[in-house]
A = this chain, B = another copy of it.
């Protein structure tokens, strides 16, 4: 209803919006790139300005894992992250007889540390502004031409940055293309598991407690960076805080938040609500149902399904939260008001109007045509829910893409991306054909549903057979589950792929042209128009408000700041700390409220008043999992692993009154390592001078 008020008076509109924007900037909101650190804001509010060394440490002691974050916490390259960020490694190393999900893992000696197949960790070493180069390379281009030109510039810049097995470079589009920065990473591809608790401890409370607080999880894992077969001597690391934190303390979170959509236009938010979320909720809910029932096939299946189920339930909780955030009329009204205000300011200056005035309508028009291409491309994307088909597709595309000039390739096959791609193929990860058959059947069914029975792509994949038959025979017959077979095929290049009789390679070859065409239609036909015009909106925002805002999250390193803080849930006051005693009180003996035997037996020696989990009002989002929470001295006080339920709406806007980060308290971690796990080797490392 706010918007109606605005219509009464042009003057009050400006005043009210400015007040809102000012208020927002004053909150502890924002995921700030290291090179755009809001030092003045922090100084003003907290009387603290980090030194150059502080910032350098924040950058170089923070690391990125696929979809997650982590921190270097010892001089021997020990990395702390979440259990759920390491779970695919833990799962890979498990068998029925040696089930690390059940027992946990602790390498009491260096020799016992175990390689995590396929895991790579990146450390950000440099940021360079390349906005001018991208602008020059895309000048005058629009639509499909713009997308191609931009991709070509990206590939060139990344190649020149010096890609090798241990360096990877990415051009990052910030502010929806308002700015471009080149991020250069040191890449570690030998990562070993050092410590992990039991699945039941890490995910205590399971899906019901996920995104909830008070909370009691030890969502923790330690891994180690290796180079040349030896532990990486880390020059930068975060030390452990001896005292931990107290309510009201200033804290920082460094990490790699994945995606926010806070700069989306109204048309884009409506697409989120009406198309993306509805489709994704449906798909993932089916997948959840499949997994809930699959694990009842037997004990082994239960073990195999557990991590996938946790992931899908987490995803669903996020999507449900996003959907309900977008169903809150206040959000959309606010975005509408902001958008109207910005457009009004643009319209008031002829130069701006000429340059940017048409951007919003252009986006709205492109969004109206996005539904069908998006649904189609999404259906093809989901095919890689079968991990083995995913491998087949990569194998088919590798030689095809490598035959092209770098600038013409799919972005994930450019020279700078190839080392990661190759490692993904050759990593000796175990594959379970039984569950992969279930997933493949599901995505084939879904594809048929989205595209229709008579679509040429569906016919090419299924012929006259059912999804069940196609999946069972292809997964049953493939040999791609053996790393050696994949490596051999990769080495053999185009000729080997052409000659292969593997049934999954055959399906990948059959579907590839359709999947590429669908992606092209979406990216070049629709998204390129949206991207181009989002750049204009971002530039308009700079022109009107200046560079006072932070860019949407992009899986690149950011710093958030705030304080240790609970919140008010209706009439109820939620305090910011829980204790290990609370964990024991929450045990029911029924899944997911079960603690392993070790925990129950050693309870007498555990200091039950030790803080265990905490909440803070730092601004985070998915991708921040595993982030260190540090104090003003740059010392670890927590390990971020979640947000509260209100943090999910953070995708679209930051509600400082309720959006909270949830972390394992550094004191709880130490107490568990000491009194429950007796992991002295890890403890000694954390205390290393």
Q: Does A618 contact B (CB under 8 A)?
A: no
Q: Which residues of B contact A371 (CB under 8 A)?
A: 327
The answer to whether B589 and A464 have CB atoms under 8 Å apart is yes
Q: Which residues of B contact A449 (CB under 8 A)?
A: 207-208
The answer to whether A465 and B590 have CB atoms under 8 Å apart is yes
The answer to whether A464 and B588 have CB atoms under 8 Å apart is yes
Q: Does A278 contact B (CB under 8 A)?
A: yes
Q: Least Cβ distance of A265 to chain B in Å?
A: 15
Q: For window 245-293 of chain A, which residues contact chain B by CB distance below 8 Å?
A: 273-275, 277-278, 281-283, 285-293
Q: Does A112 contact B (CB under 8 A)?
A: no
| C-alpha gap A212/B452 in the complex (Å) | 10
Given known A286-B289, A286-B292, A289-B286, contact A464–B281 (CB-CB < 8 A): no
Q: Does A502 contact B (CB under 8 A)?
A: no
Q: Does A448 contact B (CB under 8 A)?
A: yes
Residue-by-residue, is A441-480 near B (CB-CB < 8 Å gives 1, otherwise 0)? 0100100110001000000000011101100000000000
Q: Which of B209, B285, B591 contacts A282 (CB 8 A)?
A: B285
Given known A288-B286, A292-B289, contact A278–B590 (CB-CB < 8 A): no
Q: Does A422 contact B (CB under 8 A)?
A: no
Q: Does A63 contact B (CB under 8 A)?
A: no
Given known A274-B327, A278-B278, contact A590–B289 (CB-CB < 8 A): no
Q: Which residues of B contact A316 (CB under 8 A)?
A: 282
Q: Does A303 contact B (CB under 8 A)?
A: no
Residue-by-residue, is A413-428 near B (CB-CB < 8 Å gives 1, otherwise 0)? 0000000000000000
Residue-by-residue, is A584-597 near B (CB-CB < 8 Å gives 1, otherwise 0)? 00001111110000
The answer to whether B320 and A282 have CB atoms under 8 Å apart is yes
Q: Which of B278, B292, B468 contacts A281 (CB 8 A)?
A: B278
Q: Does A226 contact B (CB under 8 A)?
A: no
Give the size category of A's interface with B: 35 or more
Q: Least Cβ distance of A209 to chain B in Å?
A: 7
Residue-by-residue, is A396-420 near B (CB-CB < 8 Å gives 1, otherwise 0)? 0000000000000000000000000
Q: Does A386 contact B (CB under 8 A)?
A: no
Q: Does A221 contact B (CB under 8 A)?
A: no
Q: Which of B290, B293, B465, B593 contacts A588 (CB 8 A)?
A: B465
| C-alpha gap A466/B291 in the complex (Å) | 17
Q: Least Cβ distance of A272 to chain B in Å?
A: 11
Q: Least Cβ distance of A174 to chain B in Å?
A: 31
Q: Which residues of B contact A278 (CB under 8 A)?
A: 277-278, 281, 320, 323, 327
Q: Least Cβ distance of A655 to chain B in Å?
A: 17
Q: Which residues of B contact A468 (CB under 8 A)?
A: 591
Q: Which residues of B contact A329 (CB under 8 A)?
A: 368
The answer to whether A281 and B285 have CB atoms under 8 Å apart is yes
The answer to whether B466 and A591 have CB atoms under 8 Å apart is yes
Q: Does A438 contact B (CB under 8 A)?
A: yes
Most B CB atoms within 10 A — which of A288, A289, A453?
A289
Q: Least Cβ distance of A68 to chain B in Å?
A: 25
| C-alpha gap A448/B316 in the complex (Å) | 15
Q: Which residues of B contact A290 (CB under 8 A)?
A: 289-290, 292-293
Q: Does A37 contact B (CB under 8 A)?
A: no
Q: Does A294 contact B (CB under 8 A)?
A: yes
The answer to whether A208 and B286 have CB atoms under 8 Å apart is no
Q: Least Cβ distance of A296 to chain B in Å?
A: 8
The answer to whether B287 and A590 have CB atoms under 8 Å apart is no
Q: In the complex, what residue of chain B is closest to A292 when comparing beta carbons?
A: B290
Q: In the complex, what residue of chain B is closest to A273 when comparing beta carbons?
A: B274
Q: Which of B275, B323, B327 contacts A327 (CB 8 A)?
A: B275
The answer to whether B289 and A208 have CB atoms under 8 Å apart is no
Q: In the complex, what residue of chain B is closest to A326 when comparing beta carbons?
A: B274
Q: For window 429-445 of chain A, which residues contact chain B by CB distance below 8 Å?
A: 438, 442, 445
Q: Which residues of B contact A464 (CB under 8 A)?
A: 588-590, 593
| C-alpha gap A291/B290 in the complex (Å) | 8
| C-alpha gap A277/B285 in the complex (Å) | 14
Residue-by-residue, is A568-611 near B (CB-CB < 8 Å gives 1, otherwise 0)? 00000000000000000000111111000000000000000000
Q: Least Cβ distance of A583 to chain B in Å?
A: 15
| C-alpha gap A327/B323 in the complex (Å) | 14
Most B CB atoms within 10 A — which of A282, A316, A465, A589?
A282
Given known A448-B208, A453-B208, contact A466–B285 (CB-CB < 8 A): no
The answer to whether B208 and A438 have CB atoms under 8 Å apart is no
Q: In the complex, what residue of chain B is closest to A590 when comparing beta carbons?
A: B466
Q: Which residues of B contact A283 (CB under 8 A)?
A: 285
Q: Least Cβ distance of A304 to chain B in Å?
A: 14
Q: Which residues of B contact A466 (CB under 8 A)?
A: 590-592
Q: Which of B274, B294, B591 contacts A293 (CB 8 A)?
A: B294
Residue-by-residue, is A289-327 near B (CB-CB < 8 Å gives 1, otherwise 0)? 111111001000000000000000000100010010011
Q: Least Cβ distance of A462 to chain B in Å?
A: 8
| C-alpha gap A226/B667 in the complex (Å) | 76
Q: In the complex, what residue of chain B is closest to A281 when comparing beta carbons?
A: B282
The 5 A-B pairs with the shortest beta carbon distances in the complex, nearest first, are A289-B289, A285-B285, A274-B327, A293-B293, A464-B588
Listed A/B pairs (6) with beta-carbon separation below 8 Å: A274-B323, A277-B278, A285-B289, A289-B290, A293-B293, A469-B590
Besides the known contacts A281-B282, A285-B289, 7 further A-B residue pairs in the complex with CB atoms under 8 A apart: A209-B453, A274-B327, A277-B278, A286-B288, A293-B294, A297-B297, A464-B593
Residues of A within 8 A of B (CB): 207-209, 212, 273-275, 277-278, 281-283, 285-294, 297, 316, 320, 323, 326-327, 329, 368, 371, 438, 442, 445, 448-449, 453, 464-466, 468-469, 588-593
